[in-house]
Amino acid sequence: MLSIYSDEYFMKQAMAEAEKAAEAEEIPIGAVIVCQNRIIARAFNQTEKLHDVTAHAEIIAITAASEYLGNKYLKDCTLYVTLEPCLMCAGALNWSQISKIVYGASDEKKGFMRYGKELLHPKTKLEFGIFHEECSEMVRNFFEKKRKKNTAY
Residues serving a catalytic function are 58
State how far Cα 26 lies from the chain centre: 13
Identify the H or E element spanning 102. Answer: strand 100-105
User: What contacts 143, CB < 8 A, 6 or more positions away?
Assistant: none
Helix, strand or coil, per DSSP, at residue 94: helix
Contact yes or no for 99/126 (Cβ under 8 A): no
**CA 86 to centroid of chain Cα atoms:** 10
CA dist 3 and 7 (Å) reads 9
Beginning with the edge strand found earlier in the chain, give each strand of the sheet holding 125-128 in spatial order. Answer: 38-44, 30-35, 77-83, 100-105, 125-128
